[in-house]
Every structure is written in structure tokens, then in C-alpha cells.
Amino acid sequence: MIVYNIIFVMLLWSFFQTMTTDPGQVPVFWGFHLGDNENKRRRYCLMCNVFKPERCHHCSACNRCVLNMDHHCPWINNCVGFWNRKYFLLLLIYVLIICYITAVAMAYDFYQAIVWGFNNKFISKNNEKLSNNVFVIMAFIMDCIVCVLMTAFLRFHLKLAR
């Protein structure tokens, strides 16, 4: 439980850091350097009225241009950008670790619930043990589904961060 609680505190810390850290804005006067020999076509945001660097996009939810924008995350009510991507990846890692710890901790109870179900054929009605075992089975299955989805989600975001 000590390890679980330490990781949970780190999860909460990274969650609040991701929420409160500014994802990044377009630098002031970006694209107006004198003597710039680049003949690149500059991208311009019609909403913010600024020139945008590469990988900078306008977020319609935040109503501003975000530097090195990944996506707008409704879970943190913020964009994931240049300055808070580290905290977002840490958040995903801590959520995944918590899910795996929960799955390992529930595995024996899940096994006991399945064995009880096969022995009693799930026929008994108004049995307190039945409702507890159904709850354990459903919670374990949901946790495993979240583990699979979060693993894929973290893997995808680690590929994007590379």
C-alpha cells in the first residue's frame, strides 16, 4: 500500500502540473527577424493574428495558438504542448502503473470469485457473496480493459514525443 500511495500522490502531482502549466504560446514578434535569409512561406493564424512556427496550431477550445501542440485534452481541460508534455507523459505512466498494481492486487480475488461461481453455478439468489463476486469480476475486467487501452495510449504518445 505504501508504494501504491506514493505513486498515487505522484499521479495527482503530475495531473495538477499538466492542468496548470501553460502549454506554450507563440513567441512575441516571431517571424520578424531582420536579415532572415529563409525564404519559407510563413504560416499565419487568422484568429490570433500572429505568424505561427512549425507544429504550432490554433486550439478552438482554448482560443489561442499553442506552441508544439499535441492535442486538447478534455480530461485536464488544457492543451498538451511544449511546456506541459513532460507532465502529461508522466501522468500517463503513473495511471498505467496504478492500473497494473490494481490488476495484480485483484487477481487472486478474481480467481476466487470465478472458482466460487463455478462451484455454485451462480444459481443462488439473494446471496451476499454473489453480489460481491460479481462486483469483483466486473471491476477486474474493467481494470484489465483500462490497462490495455492506457498501454496503447502511452505507447502512441511516446512515439509522438520521440
Q: Report the catalytic residues.
A: 73
Residue carrying C-alpha cell 499521479: 11
How far apart (Å, rounded) are the C-alpha atoms in residues 109 and 111? Answer: 5
φ and ψ at residue 71, rounded to 5 degrees: -165, 165
Quickly list DSSP for 80-137: E-TTTHHHHHHHHHHHHHHHHHHHHHHHHHHHHHHHHHHHHTT---S-HHHHHHHHHH
Evaluate whether 50 touches 44 at the Cβ level (below 8 Å): yes
